[in-house]
Amino acid sequence: MSAWTNSSWEELYNSCLNCKKCALWETRQNMVFGAGNPDAEVMFIGEGPGEQEDKTGQPFVGRAGQLLDDMLYLIDLNRSNVYIANIVKCRPPGNRDPLNIEQEACSGWLRRQIELVNPKIIVCLGRIAAKFLIKEDFKITEEHGRWFDVGGRRCMAIYHPAALLRDPRRRPETFVDLKELQRTIREICNNTYQC
């Protein structure tokens, strides 16, 4: 049983804010905890904050965040009816991929967020989140858009919005993945997701 079983969001946030389990806290401007609806049935998880997120303390607010907002809009979602978080809560220097030791140090915070939100669906944004949450040998080019059962939840991975900015040729496949996500939301989630 988790030591956080009876903790509130505020307690979790404050504990995460004071975390020094890895060296990322030393170079961050802001801890990027997560944002959105704490009762969401759909949760999006990325790898870690970038430069704009580090400045604001909010997830997905730079160019990739603007694209994520557009992607959500395509399938009748927005930040008020989903929850968005990252594996690591502090920006890795130079926007590099978070190291395994950093991901492991932050894993308890993310797992507790998942427990508190208790989503029916988790969408991994990119390969790193998919490798962390779905399976270690996840291949984003082969397995994006497929459903997996992870701890009794439906889980899929799509290309990270930053990857789509770098390689727009992936956008048509991502559109198909988003429509599959929308179909599944309509199938298993409550009416607040149905437009």
Q: Is 35 in a helix, a strand, or coil?
A: strand
Quote the longest CA-to-CA distance of the chain.
46
What local confidence, expressed as pLDDT, does residue 191 receive? Answer: 63
**How do residues 3-16 score in pLDDT, each as one tens digit?**
434 468 999 999 99
Residue 182's pLDDT band (cuts 50, 70, 90): very high
Question: Domains in the chain, ordered, with CATH?
Answer: 29-186 (3.40.470.10)
Please state, in angstroms and rounded to a whole number, the distance separating the CA atoms of residues 110 and 27. 20
Q: What per-residue confidence (pLDDT) applies to 7? A: 60
pLDDT at 192: 59
Q: What pLDDT digit, counting tens, does each position of 72-128 carry?
A: 999 999 999 999 999 999 999 988 999 999 999 999 999 999 999 999 999 999 999
What is the Cα–Cα distance from 1 to 153, expressed in whole angstroms?
19
Q: Which residue has the tokens 């427990």?
A: 115
Query: Span 121-139, mean pLDDT?
Result: 97
Residue range 141-169: mean pLDDT, rounded: 97
Confidence check: pLDDT of 169 > 90: yes
Q: Is the pLDDT of residue 134 over 60?
A: yes
Find, among 142, 130, 143, 146, the residue nearest to 180 by Cα: 146
In the predicted model, is pLDDT for residue 178 greater than 60?
yes
Q: CA-CA distances (angstroms) from residue 93 to 24, 53, 88?
A: 8, 13, 12
